[in-house]
Amino acid sequence: MPLSLVRRHSELARADAQRAILQGDQVAGIPQFDEAVAQHALPVLQATGVEVLQINVGKLCNQTCTHCHVDAGPDRRESMSHETAEAIIAALDRFEIPTLDITGGAPEMNPNFRWLVQEAHALGRRVIDRCNLTILVANGHRDLPQFLADHRVEVVASLPCYLEDNCDRQRGDGVFQRSIAALRILNELGYGQANSDRQLTLVYNPVGPSLPPNQTELEDAYRRELKSRYDIVFNQLHTITNLPISRFLDDLLQSGQYEAYMQKLVDAFNPQTVSHVMCRTTLSVDWLGNLYDCDFNQMLELPVTTKSRRIDELSWDDITQRTIATGRHCFGCTAGNGSSCQGAVVS
- CB proximity list for 163: less than 8 A, separation 6 or greater: none
Q: What is the overall mean pLDDT for the chain? A: 90
Predicted pLDDT at 123 = 98
- CB proximity list for 11: less than 8 A, separation 6 or greater: none
Residue 244 · residue 332 · CB < 8 Å: yes
Predicted pLDDT at 119 = 98
Q: How far is CA 139 from CA 20, 134, 154, 180, in A?
A: 41, 10, 22, 16
Predicted pLDDT at 94 = 96
- Confidence label for 26 from pLDDT (cuts 50, 70 and 90): low
End-to-end CA distance of the chain: 51
Higher-pLDDT residue of 2, 143 = 143
DSSP 206-218: -SSSS----HHHH
Percent of the chain with pLDDT over 70: 90
On the question of a cis peptide bond just before residue 332, with omega within 30 degrees of 0, the verdict is no
d(CA 71, CA 159): 18
Predicted pLDDT at 6 = 47
d(CA 318, CA 306): 6
User: What is the dihedral sign for C-alpha 47, 299, 218, 100?
Assistant: negative
d(CA 134, CA 93): 32
Residue 43 has pLDDT above 60, yes or no: yes
pTM: 0.92
d(CA 148, CA 63): 20
> Any idea which of 4-13, 51-60, 297-306 has the lowest mean pLDDT?
4-13
CATH architecture of 48-241+276-323: Alpha-Beta Barrel (3.20)
> Any idea which of 158-162, 181-185, 310-314 has the lowest mean pLDDT?
158-162
Higher-pLDDT residue of 162, 82 = 82
d(CA 291, CA 305): 10
Give the full edge-to-edge strand order of the sheet including 126-131.
236-239, 200-204, 154-158, 126-131, 99-103, 52-56, 282-285, 291-292
Predicted pLDDT at 70 = 66
The string of pLDDT tens digits covering residues 214-264 is 999 999 999 999 999 999 999 999 999 999 888 888 888 889 999 999 999
The string of pLDDT tens digits covering residues 72-115 is 677 888 899 999 999 999 999 999 999 999 998 889 999 999 99
Predicted pLDDT at 3 = 46
Residue 24 has pLDDT above 80, yes or no: no
Higher-pLDDT residue of 13, 43 = 43
